Amino acid sequence: MYVTRRIPAHFSSPTFLPASFANYGRLRCSNLFKSCSSICDLKRLHAYLLTQGLASSLHLATKLVSLASALSPTMEYARKLFELMADRDSFLWNTLIRGYATIGPCEEVPGLYKEMHLAGFSPDYYTFPFVVRSCAVVSAIREGKQVHCSIVKNGLDSNIFAQGSLITLYSQSGEISDAELGFGEMDERV
């Protein structure tokens, strides 16, 4: 829930936004996102979206989280944006998980995966490779095996990206026979 506060006038003026946003009134939000080249630009855009009452849009919030994880060296701002969202979907969860799997710390990913389940969202073919890869990076073989079971339960055991990440998990954990078994079961090899 957002608290309504008086927004200073300079937040909604064209000078508040960077020069690349000069025609922001005529641009669509997607173009504004494309104009962001730094985390500072993104924070300005976020402030603009707040002033326009658009920050609670799930679609725009997902874009904010995605861009925050791409522009920032840490996941701190992306996580804050995620935590502000009252409504979430699987895509928003996947965006946050992908960010942590890419930027780190990867130790956060298994916990986020569990939170996603507890919140009632089902992982999909996009979720699993990032979770399994993070388990491999932090040597969390037990959690990785649990995720492997979920992959099978969800019928995604033939997904090439899930299979590849499982092979990486097992080989990096020294479980070569399981890695070989996974490789042998692959329908397609890249």
92 and 73 share one domain: no
At residue 72, the pLDDT reads 92
Mean pLDDT, rounded, for 52-59:
83
Query: End of a domain among 87, 114, 149?
Result: 87
Judged against a pLDDT cut of 50, whether residue 137 lies above it is answered with: yes
pLDDT range class, residue 171, cuts 50, 70, 90:
confident
Q: Are residues 19 and 79 in the same domain?
A: yes
Six-digit token string for 53: 């009452």
Distance between CA atoms of residues 131 and 190, nearest Å? 21
151/175 same-domain check: yes
Please calculate the CA angle 148-151-152 and round it to the nearest 5 degrees.
Answer: 95
Confidence category of residue 142, pLDDT binned at 50, 70, 90: very high
Q: Which domain holds residue 159?
A: 88-190
Please give the tally of structural domains in the chain.
Answer: 2
Average pLDDT over residues 151-180: 83
Same domain, 62 and 43: yes
Same domain? For 82 and 92 the reply is: no
Separation CA 123–CA 109 (nearest Å): 13
Domain match, 157 and 188 both: yes
Task: Indicate the average pLDDT of the chain.
Answer: 82
Q: Are residues 103 and 183 in the same domain?
A: yes
Do 40 and 55 fall into the same domain? yes
Lowest mean pLDDT among 5-9, 41-45, 162-166: 5-9
**How much is the average pLDDT of 37-58?**
88
pLDDT of residue 179: 67
Read off the pLDDT of residues 9-40 as tens digits, 9 standing for 90 and up: 434 444 444 544 444 444 466 677 888 899 99
Give me 140's structure tokens.
């969390």
> Whole-model pTM?
0.79
Q: Are residues 29 and 98 in the same domain?
A: no
- Answer yes or no: is pLDDT of 126 > 50: yes
Report the interhelical angle of 39-51 vs 76-84 (nearest 10°).
20
| pLDDT tens-digit series, residues 66-116 | 999 999 999 999 999 999 888 899 999 999 999 999 999 999 999 999 999
Q: Which residue has the tokens 């993070």?
A: 134
Coil, strand or helix at 37? coil
What per-residue confidence (pLDDT) applies to 32?
79
Q: Do 34 and 81 lie in a common domain?
A: yes
Residue 147 CA, distance from chain mean position: 18
Among residues 63, 87, 111, which one ends one of the domains?
A: 87
Q: Using pLDDT thresholds of 50, 70 and 90, give the confidence band for residue 187.
A: low
147 and 102, same structural domain? yes
Among 52, 87, 122, which residue terminates a domain? 87
Do 102 and 9 fall within a single domain?
Answer: no
